[in-house]
Chain A
Amino acid sequence: KAGVTQTPRYLIKTRGQQVTLSCSPISGHRSVSWYQQTPGQGLQFLFEYFSETQRNKGNFPGRFSGRQFSNSRSEMNVSTLELGDSALYLCASSLDGTGRLFFGSGTQLSVL
């Protein structure tokens, strides 16, 4: 069974631009979560989607948004990029949001 796939692996943007990250969950998994990891920080929860509905949202500004499609694939969008948005963005999937999460390898975003 293929794991969680995130694209692209690396991304370089400049301040003020917007970016879209993509995540394909493990087949059959309906819950997709997004986390941000910055140097020296743990992973911080962004949001969780289940059956195309956002069930939970972390403490991030409205510039961070996401969505989930009917095939459970998810996208995350960050608008008006700031230098502080440089981070590793991790997507994770689970069957229904319970128990363990299966993480992708992440998208490393650099904002210049």
Chain B
Amino acid sequence: DQQVKQNSPSLSVQEGRISILNCDYTNSMFDYFLWYKKYPAEGPTFLISISSIKDKNEDGRFTVFLNKSAKHLSLHIVPSQPGDSAVYFCAASAGSSGSARQLTFGSGTQLTVLP
């Protein structure tokens, strides 16, 4: 029973264009969402997060959108750069807002940015 789903295992975009990574969740108790990026042979690194009280959070080239009614969030990267090529994981947590005691991760999306 996957509570966090990333239905696209891979995505290819051209350098300079927008990358949109999607994530769906089923647990309505989730109230904090995060995106992590992972390069081979390294641990995941935090990108951006959003609390359920917001519908958008922006940090430089990265923007996360949350649609609570659809239980859907997306990560937009504009403009995409070759260095963004990595596996992107969506994660969610429930309970007290901001708690990262137990993150539930999606299966990841491999983003490839073509020069």
Residues of A within 8 A of B (CB): 4, 31, 33, 35, 40-45, 48, 55-56, 58, 90, 92, 94, 97-106
Residues of B within 8 A of A (CB): 4, 6, 34, 36, 41-46, 49, 89, 91, 96, 98-108
Residues of A close to B45: CB separation below 8 A: 103
Q: Tell me the bound Cα distance from A35 to B89 in angstroms.
A: 13
Contact, CB under 8 Å: A92 / B43:
yes
Contact, CB under 8 Å: B100 / A99:
yes
Q: Tell me the bound Cα distance from A33 to B104 in angstroms.
A: 12
Of the A-B pairs whose beta carbons lie under 8 Å apart in the complex, a sample of 28, sorted by A's number, is: A31-B101, A33-B100, A33-B102, A41-B107, A42-B6, A42-B89, A42-B106, A43-B44, A43-B91, A44-B105, A45-B102, A48-B102, A55-B101, A56-B101, A90-B43, A90-B44, A98-B96, A98-B100, A98-B101, A99-B49, A99-B98, A100-B46, A101-B100, A103-B36, A103-B43, A105-B41, A105-B42, A106-B43
Contact, CB under 8 Å: B101 / A97:
yes
Instruction: Looking at the assembled complex, report how far the CB atom of B76 sits from the nearest CB atom of chain A, in whole angstroms.
Output: 19
Residues of A close to B4: CB separation below 8 A: 42
Residues of B close to A94: CB separation below 8 A: 100
Q: Select from chain A the residue with minimum beta-carbon distance to B95.
A: A56
Instruction: Looking at the assembled complex, report how far the CB atom of B104 sits from the nearest CB atom of chain A, in whole angstroms.
Output: 7
Partner of A102, one of B46, B98, B99, B106: B46
